[in-house]
Amino acid sequence: MNIRDYLDSTYLKTDAQAGLNESENIAVAQGFIQEAIDEGFKLIMIRPNRVALAKKMIVAAQSKVLIGTVIDFPEGKSSLEKKMEEALECIQNGADDLDYVCNYEAFKAGDIDLVKEEILKGTQLGLNHNKTVKWIIEVAALNELQIAQLSALIKNVVVSNFKEELYSSVFVKSSTGFYKTDNDLPNGATVPSIKIMLENASPLPVKAAGGVRTYDEAKQMVELGVKRIGTSGAKAIANGEESSSQY
């Protein structure tokens, strides 16, 4: 197993979150992009305002590294119109993967029609432009039943509206890595949450994001059936070391 083929190397901190000014944070982002190119990771996951930079660097390096970005991040509460505008701009700037934050609070409140519509329209936009789409459900904000129900809802919308050959391009993804939990409980992927997602999202693929910090943990996720792993410690994991990253 080449674990690099599963790793979405991730840097999503704003200037304020990183405690840096804009130029310093751009330099950090450039470092992550260059590392993804040098290490041959599957993808570099970057903020929307860094997509054009990643595209420029990857083209210049003649690299096959994919560019992913996050849409309506990290809370997923924006209108469908705003989600679509942001996604379209990212497509135009060169993104390959669109990781939408599902409006999980609307789901929890019972507004299922709103969630279904954003999944349908957001997926449609991505697939119409030959992009991979991922829906972040934020497992730390959900109980086990809700994880199962939201994973199944996404699956059902996709299966009901798109051709079977497109299923592999629509993921259910565990986490943003930015959700604030009580008592320092895990805010990313856990083995129990991933098992529930795999069971209820199939035949859609699953991405485990956050909480995977060692090669053995990454290998375990792949063996469970995960197709992508989101981490800001991709190099450490690929080298068999333990990542000190919080994501």
Between residues 212 and 244, which one has the greater pLDDT?
212
Using a cut of 0.95, tell me whether the model's pTM lies above it: yes
Kindly indicate the confidence band of residue 246, based on its pLDDT and cuts at 50, 70 and 90.
Answer: low
Burial class (CB in 10 A: 0-12, 13-18, 19+), 199: middle
Between CA 133 and CA 172 the distance in angstroms is: 9
Choose the catalytic residue: 42, 97, 99, 131. Answer: 99
Tens digits of residue pLDDT in 27-42: 999 999 999 999 999 9
The residue to which tokens 């669109």 are assigned: 98
Report the SS3 class of residue 59.
helix
Choose the catalytic residue: 13, 155, 173, 235. Answer: 173
pLDDT at 26 over 80: yes
> Is 99 an annotated catalytic residue?
yes
pLDDT computed for residue 56 by the predictor? 98
> Is 207 an annotated catalytic residue?
yes
Mean pLDDT over 141-158 rounds to: 98
Residues paired with residue 228 on neighbouring β-strands, in sequence order: 207
Q: Could you give all domains of the chain from N- to C-terminal order, each with its CATH number?
A: 3-238 (3.20.20.70)
Instruction: Give the rounded percent of residues in the chain with a pLDDT score beyond 70.
Output: 100
Between CA 166 and CA 176 the distance in angstroms is: 24
Choose the catalytic residue: 131, 134, 155, 207. Answer: 207
Report the SS3 class of residue 186.
coil
